[in-house]
Amino acid sequence: MNLPDPIKNFIHYFSKLPSIGPRQATRLSFYLINSGKSEIDGIKKSLEELEKMSVCEKCFFVFLPKNGSEKICEICASDKRDHGLIAVIEKETDLISLENTNKFNGVYFIIGNLQKNGTLGMEQKTRLSKLKNTIETELDGKANEIILAINPTTYGDFNAAVLAKELKSHAKKITRLGRGIPTGGEIEFADEETLGNAIERRI
């Protein structure tokens, strides 16, 4: 069936989103049309608000600048955090999950989605260089501890070994999250108590 262009355009863009393919995007388009103009206007406004977000130059988490000139997020700027304790994570949702445990008072570093073959992509190499430079300039060359908070999957363990080798000379100690998270699980979906125990029992 030849759909109207507005629906085709919606499907084209929304099907690129994580976990949403063409079929789900098609369903969403009809849902929104049937929801009415006010619902569509609300979504349009929320999308426009996303343009105001920035990416932290130190940890690569997103944040909303208060005056438009900040370069780093509130966590990286806080003098109440232990900047010598760094949790290396893959994605933003992992940061949110760890932060919600209220068991971690260090800072974060988002390396980006890691490949399953243990090879660092260009983006990961660039970010890793940024982390090393931060450690060298702000921590006299060595962090007190770097926690490799990578998902405890087979490829996660492989990538953690690669990162540990890369960062060995930049940390006094490199640890992993404790196995409170089941093997094959993901940080993003772990409950706060389990994740909190994994932070406290890191190895």
Q: Can you give the pTM of this predicted structure?
A: 0.82
Which residues, 6+ apart, have CB-to-CB distance to 154 below 8 Å?
A: 184
Rounded mean pLDDT, 3-25: 93
Kindly state the average pLDDT of the residues 32-41.
Answer: 94
pLDDT tens figures, 59-85: 999 999 988 778 999 999 999 999 999
CATH number of 62-200: 3.40.1360.10
- Digit-coded pLDDT (tens) for 118-144: 788 899 999 999 999 999 999 999 999
CB 86 within 8 A of CB 180: no
Query: Which CATH number applies to 5-50?
Result: 1.10.8.420
Q: Contact, 117 vs 145, CB < 8 A?
A: no
Domain boundaries, the chain: 5-50, 62-200
| 1 or 113, greater pLDDT | 113
